[in-house]
Amino acid sequence: MNSQTKSQFIAVASITSELSAVMVVAKEISLAAANAKAIAFRAGDKAKGFQPITDFINELAKETIELVTNINVYALLLYRLTVNEYRRTAAYNRFEQVAKLATGASYADSMQEPISHAKTMMQDCQRQFKRDVTQLLGQLEAVMHHARAARVIAANSRIEASQAGEYLQSLQAVAESVDKAAHTIHDNVQRCRIALSIYRNS
Amino acid sequence: MKMTKIYEGAHQWVMFGRDENKPDNIIDSNQYIVRTANKCLLLEPGGTELFAPMMAAVLHHAPVDQITDLFASHQDPDVISSLGLWDQALSNAKLHAPALWEGYIRNFGCESIEYVPIPDNGETIKIESVELQIIPAHYLHSPCNFHVYDPQAKILMCGSVGSAFEAANAPVFVERFDVHVEKMRAYHQRMMPSNQAKRAWIDRVRNLDIDILAPQHGRMFKGDDVKRFLDWFDSLQVGTGV
């Protein structure tokens, strides 16, 4: 296996790993939203501005979980494609080797058709991989967008929390946890994007 | 890759082996083809590392589109790990291999080749007009294992039985049986787990008319050495690894 193939395997495998961490964090946001909703309910009028924010946080977490679930399915397909491309490339290289070794053999020419077929299949896989990576990068961008939105919500939450009297600390803690989670999601997804970006369609 | 024609009649048997360019840390193995007018059966196709020299050698005898059948006696990588490559090279081929090992062997890659499962009690494979008997050889050494007998050529391809490990320049036939015995003893004692299975196989094989015993590793046996081998194997205690 050459170093480019190794890097490709690592890049694809790292997506699943990074995204499983994103999934955990998104579930934490969902929990934080439920917690915030309970606090806002107890705070009544003092946290009136906070109540719609909790629904929004929850919605955002759900959408992130859904997106990541879809991306994971896609990442698995990309992994299979990588395995397939590896097999096709290995076969093509071996067939080329056969052609060299078979020089002078009565039926050496009959190898040309398998070589040509293997080359086409290998190139198809390479093109498909680039197309799929480009699409996956688009999906990862959507998760980044959610992470940015979560940070804006966290900022608004802090402002609303400051109006909540004795509930200030609890609600600020919720805002902090949403902000931290958004950071983590952003960083993890960014790492996926960097790992994949060298394979995208130019 | 050395090529030795071991039968020439209405069809041919060719033995391939002693690849001088194989990596040192990979065991040498024998491959065989049965060539008829329009078809070619490849017995024990070999490991991935051996694919290119093996395929190149076969092209001296048959074009790619006439390699229509493969046979694997059992599931070991030195027997059939090249399957994924043959699978991409051959557009219309069948693999005859033990039914028990289908799920295992498919791990090597088997998408376009048709897997034809061999039942436990063996069967007959027909390659054009040549009928080959698939003889059960279970536990020798694999728990589900088969050998191939050609009654016309009087050749028994006996897989792991009779195997020995030789240098790349070793002759392809046993020349002095008494010397060769020591190259086989440890392998057979360790790799063959059951005296009962060995006895059943010997009883079955003694009823066949055999000119050549063709193992997967090492030298082939011909003439009187066939009986010498059966007698020696009969008296050998196997399964000594415990």
Sign of the CA dihedral running A158, A163, A168, A171? negative
The minimum CA-CA distance between B108 and chain A, rounded to whole Å, is 11
Task: Select from A88, A94, A110 the Cβ nearest to the Cβ of B64.
Answer: A110
Q: Domain residues of chain A, as ranges?
A: 3-87+125-197
Query: Which of A52-61, B152-161, B179-188 has the lowest average pLDDT?
Result: A52-61
Q: Per-residue pLDDT tens for B111-141?
A: 999 999 999 999 999 999 999 999 999 999 9
Confidence check: pLDDT of B183 > 90:
yes
Q: Per-residue pLDDT tens for B206-229?
A: 999 999 999 999 999 999 999 999
Question: ∠ CA B103-B105-B107 to the nearest 5 degrees?
Answer: 80
Judged by CB atoms closer than 8 Å, whether chains meet at A94 and B65 is answered as no
Judged by CB atoms closer than 8 Å, whether chains meet at B59 and A118 is answered as no
ipTM (interface predicted TM) = 0.93
* Tally of residues, chain A: 202
Judged by CB atoms closer than 8 Å, whether chains meet at B84 and A91 is answered as yes
Identify the three-state secondary structure at position B217: coil
Per-window interface: B 88-107 vs A, CB < 8 A = 88-90
Cα distance between residue A86 and residue A95, in whole Å = 14
Q: Per-residue pLDDT tens for A102-146?
A: 999 999 999 999 999 999 999 999 999 999 999 999 989 988 998
Please, what is the average pLDDT of chain B? 97
Query: Which of A5-19, B20-34, B80-94 has the lowest average pLDDT?
Result: A5-19
Interface check for B56 against chain A (CB to CB < 8 A): the answer is yes
- Could you say which architecture CATH assigns to the domain B2-235? 4-Layer Sandwich (3.60)
Rounded mean pLDDT, B228-239: 97
Interface check for A102 against chain B (CB to CB < 8 A): the answer is yes
Q: Domain residues of chain B, as ranges?
A: 2-235
Cβ–Cβ under 8 Å, residues B93 and B114:
yes
Q: Per-residue pLDDT tens for A145-198?
A: 988 988 898 888 888 888 888 888 888 888 888 898 889 989 989 998 988 888
Cα distance between residue A74 and residue B234, in whole Å = 58
Q: Radius of gyration of chain A from Cα atoms?
A: 25
Rounded mean pLDDT, B7-27: 93
Q: Which long-range contacts (CB under 8 A, 24 or more apart) does A78-83 make?
A: A78/A12, A78/A15, A78/A129, A78/A132, A78/A133, A78/A136, A79/A12, A79/A13, A79/A16, A81/A125, A81/A128, A81/A129, A81/A132, A82/A8, A82/A9, A82/A12, A82/A129
Interface check for A83 against chain B (CB to CB < 8 A): the answer is no
The minimum CA-CA distance between B24 and chain A, rounded to whole Å, is 19
Cα distance between residue B7 and residue B197, in whole Å = 29
Q: Per-residue pLDDT tens for A35-75?
A: 888 888 888 888 787 778 888 888 888 888 898 898 888 88
Cβ–Cβ under 8 Å, residues A146 and A60:
yes
Interface check for B77 against chain A (CB to CB < 8 A): the answer is no
Per-window interface: A 38-77 vs B, CB < 8 A = none
Cβ–Cβ under 8 Å, residues B69 and B126:
no
Cβ–Cβ under 8 Å, residues B58 and B40:
yes
